């Protein structure tokens, strides 16, 4: 085991923790969630669902996808779903360049690079599950936080539905949970979004 590589990879994880997402951490006021918190929460939620619901998925793959699904953001940054058109349009290219940089900096970590590529292709059930759950999880966090992020960022329920529904539809298990959550969002729309207008 080479200490210099251990230090370098740990530094990468520290940098990953510095990538803020546009979602408040429920109960912590104005503090944004970071990518490490998000990835850990997603992986744990996915593991819980695969285990408790006895889903026909490889739990190890689900956990790995959950941990690495946003790792390219350490170099590419997070892309806010309601950000500028220019920033949204550059997402794919920025993330491809980031994946290449990860390969250059950590050429010895073949498993990581192949998993990132597999996740981006979304050809297996596990990557589709994590992709869909990644779109649902922020809705759950914001719902539990009383809609603070939606109200602060002027996001309406119609905007959330338009953005999330086609992405979540990639996995039937996550879709089922999403549809139940939509009932709650509609019931509490004015409280959570501050407005019932589209």
Between the CA atoms of 85, 155, 32 and 130, what dihedral angle is there, to the nearest 10 degrees? -80
The pTM (predicted TM-score) of the whole model is 0.95
Q: Is the C-alpha dihedral spanning 95, 96, 101, 103 positive or negative?
A: positive
Q: pLDDT tens, 41-95? A: 999 999 999 999 999 999 999 999 999 999 999 999 999 999 889 998 999 999 9
Cα-based distances in Å from 115 to 21, 70, 72, 103, 186: 22, 11, 12, 12, 37
**Which carries the bigger pLDDT value, residue 4 or residue 83?**
4
> pLDDT above 70 covers what percent of the chain?
98
Tell me: domain 3-193, CATH 1.10.3210.10, correct? yes
Instruction: Report whether 78 contacts 19 (CB < 8 A).
Output: yes
Of 120, 122, 161, the residue nearest 139 (C-alpha): 161
* Cα–Cα distance measured from residue 71 to residue 77, given in angstroms and rounded to the nearest whole number: 9
Domain ranges of the chain: 3-193
Q: What is the pLDDT of residues 165-179, one digit of tens each?
A: 999 999 999 999 999
């Amino acid at each position: 085991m080479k200490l210099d590589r251990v230090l370098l990879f740990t530094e990468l994880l520290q940098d990953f923790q510095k990538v803020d997402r546009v979602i408040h951490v429920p109960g912590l006021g104005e503090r944004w969630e970071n990518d490490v918190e998000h990835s850990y929460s997603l992986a744990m939620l996915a593991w819980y669902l695969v285990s408790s619901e006895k889903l026909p998925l490889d739990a190890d793959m689900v956990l790995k996808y959950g941990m690495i699904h946003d790792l390219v953001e350490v170099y590419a940054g997070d892309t806010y779903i309601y950000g500028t058109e220019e920033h949204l349009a550059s997402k794919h290219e920025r993330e491809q360049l980031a994946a290449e940089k990860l390969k250059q900096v950590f050429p010895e970590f073949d498993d990581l690079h192949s998993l990132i590529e597999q996740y981006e292709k979304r050809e297996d059930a596990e990557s589709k599950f994590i992709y869909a759950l990644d779109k649902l999880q922020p809705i759950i966090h914001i719902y539990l936080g009383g809609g603070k992020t939606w109200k602060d960022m002027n996001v309406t329920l119609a905007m959330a539905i338009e953005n999330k529904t086609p992405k979540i539809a990639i996995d039937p298990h996550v879709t089922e949970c999403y549809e139940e959550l939509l009932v709650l969002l509609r019931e509490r729309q004015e409280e959570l979004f501050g407005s019932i207008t589209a």
